[in-house]
Amino acid sequence: MSGTFMTTPRIFNFSSGPAVLPEPVLEEAQRDLMALPGVGMSVLEISHRSPHFDAILEAAEAELRALAGIPSTHRVLFVQGGASLQFTMVPTNLLAADGTADYLVTGVWSKKAVKEAEKIGRVHVAASTEPDGFVKVPSVRDLALTPGAAYVHMTSNNTIYGTQWHDVPEVGAAPLVSDMSSDILSRPVPVERHGVIYAGAQKNLGPAGVTLLIVREDLLERSSASLPSMLSYRVLAQGASRYNTPPVFGVYLLRLVLCWLRDAGGLTALAARNERKAARLYAEIDRTGFFRGVAEPESRSCMNVTFRVPNQDLDDLFVREAAAAGLDGVKGHRSVGGLRASIYNAMPQAGVDALAQFMREFERTRG
Ligand code: PMP
> What is the domain-level CATH number for residue 282?
3.90.1150.10
Decide whether any atom of ligand 1 lies within 6 Å of the 15 Cβ. no
- Please state, in angstroms and rounded to a whole number, the distance separating the CA atoms of residues 93 and 258: 28
Q: How many CB atoms lie within 10 A of CB 36?
A: 20
State yes or no: is 316 an active-site residue.
no
Q: In which element (H, E) is residue 13 found?
A: strand 12-13
Residue 10 lies in a domain: no
Residues 253 and 274 placed together within one structural domain of the fold: no
Average pLDDT rounded to a whole number, residues 113-138? 98
| Contact (Cβ atoms closer than 8 angstroms) between residue 194 and residue 177 | yes
CB 295 within 8 Å of CB 162: yes
Phi first, then psi: give them for residue 164, nearest 5 degrees: -150, 140
Count structural domains, the chain: 2
Check: CB of residue 216 under 8 Å from CB of residue 195. Answer: yes
Residue whose C-alpha is closest to residue 238's, from 259, 266, 215: 215
What is the tens place of the pLDDT at every residue in 174-226? 999 999 999 999 999 999 999 999 999 999 999 999 999 999 999 999 999 99
pLDDT at 2: 44
- Backbone phi and psi for residue 225, each to the nearest 5 degrees, phi listed first: -65, -20
User: Is the distance from the beta carbon of residue 107 to the nearest atom of ligand 1 less than 6 Å?
Assistant: no
User: Looking at the structure, do residues 197 and 235 belong to the same domain, yes or no?
Assistant: yes
Q: Is residue 179 annotated as part of the catalytic site, yes or no?
A: yes
Q: Assess whether pLDDT exceeds 90 at residue 238.
A: yes
Identify the pLDDT of residue 3. Answer: 47
Is residue 204 located within the same domain as residue 332? Answer: no
The lowest-confidence range among 4-8, 35-39, 289-293 is 4-8
What is the per-residue pLDDT for 5? 57
Output the pLDDT for position 6. Answer: 62
* 146 and 102 fall within a common domain: yes
Q: Determine, yes or no, domain membership for 185.
A: yes
Mutation choice for ligand 1 from 88, 105, 159, 161, CB with most ligand atoms inside 8 A:
159
Judge if 197 and 112 occupy the same domain: yes
Specify whether the CB–CB gap between 313 and 242 falls below 8 A.
Answer: no
Max Cα-Cα span within the chain: 64
Using a 6 Å cutoff on CB, does residue 159 contact ligand 1?
A: yes
HSE-CB for 27 with a 13 A CA cutoff: 7
Indicate if 116 and 214 belong to the same structural domain.
yes
Assigned domain for 14 exists? no
DSSP string, 217-260: GGGGGGS-TTS-GGG-HHHHHHTTT-SS---HHHHHHHHHHHHH
- Does ligand 1 have an atom closer than 6 angstroms to the CB of 304? no
163-164 and 211-216: which strand pairing? unpaired
Tell me: do 157 and 249 sit in the same domain: yes
Of 257, 220, 203, the residue nearest 77 (C-alpha): 220
**Angle value at C-alpha 253, between 247 and 258, nearest 5 degrees:** 120
Distance from Cα 84 to the centre of ligand 1, integer Å: 6
Task: For 126, list phi and psi in degrees, rounded to 5.
Answer: -85, -15
240 Cβ contact partners less than 8 Å away, ≥ 6 residues apart = none
Boundary residue ending a domain (212, 247, 263): 263
Q: Within this chain, do residues 91 and 74 fall inside the same structural domain, yes or no?
A: yes
Structure confidence by residue, pLDDT tens digits, 144-164:
999 999 999 999 999 999 999
Last residue of a domain, one of 211, 237, 263: 263
**Domain span at 100:** 28-263
Give me the pLDDT at residue 7, please: 77
Return the pLDDT at 297.
97
Residue with the nearest Cα to atom 5 of ligand 1?
Answer: 159
- Ligand 1 mean position to 363 CA, how many Å? 32
- Check 102, 111, 136, 179 and give the catalytic one: 179
How far, in Å, CA of 80 to CA of 89, rounded?
12
Residues 185 and 273 in one domain: no
The answer to whether position 249 is within a domain reads yes
Q: What is the CA radius of gyration of the chain?
A: 21
Ligand 1 and 84: CB distance under 6 A: yes
End of a domain among 219, 234, 263?
A: 263
Same domain, 175 and 227: yes
Res. 1 pLDDT band, cuts 50 70 90 = very low
- In a domain? residue 18: no
Q: Is residue 212 part of a domain?
A: yes
The arithmetic mean of pLDDT across residues 60-84, rounded, is: 98
Going by pLDDT thresholds of 50, 70 and 90, the confidence category of residue 72 is very high
Catalytic residue among 102, 109, 165, 277: 109
- Give distance in angstroms: CA of 267 to centre of ligand 1: 22
The answer, yes or no, to whether residue 140 has pLDDT greater than 80, is: yes
Does pLDDT of 110 surpass 90? yes
68, 144: one domain? yes
Measure the CA–CA gap between 227 and 246, rounded to whole angstroms. Answer: 20
Question: Where residue 102 sits, what CATH number does that domain have?
Answer: 3.40.640.10
The predicted pLDDT at position 4 comes to 54
Is 7 inside a domain boundary? Answer: no
Strands 292-293 and 304-308, by their bridges, are antiparallel
Active site residue 111: no
Measured CA distances, 287 to 281, 351, 365 (Å): 10, 19, 16
Beta carbons within 10 angstroms of residue 34's beta carbon: 9
Domain identity same for 131 and 69: yes
- Answer whether residue 23 is part of any domain: no
Q: How far is CA 360 from CA 98, 280, 286, 288, in A?
A: 56, 12, 11, 10
Q: If you take atom 4 of ligand 1, which residue's CA is the nearest one?
A: 181
Residue nearest to ligand 1 atom 9, measured at CA: 83
Band of the pLDDT at 367, cuts 50, 70, 90?
Answer: confident
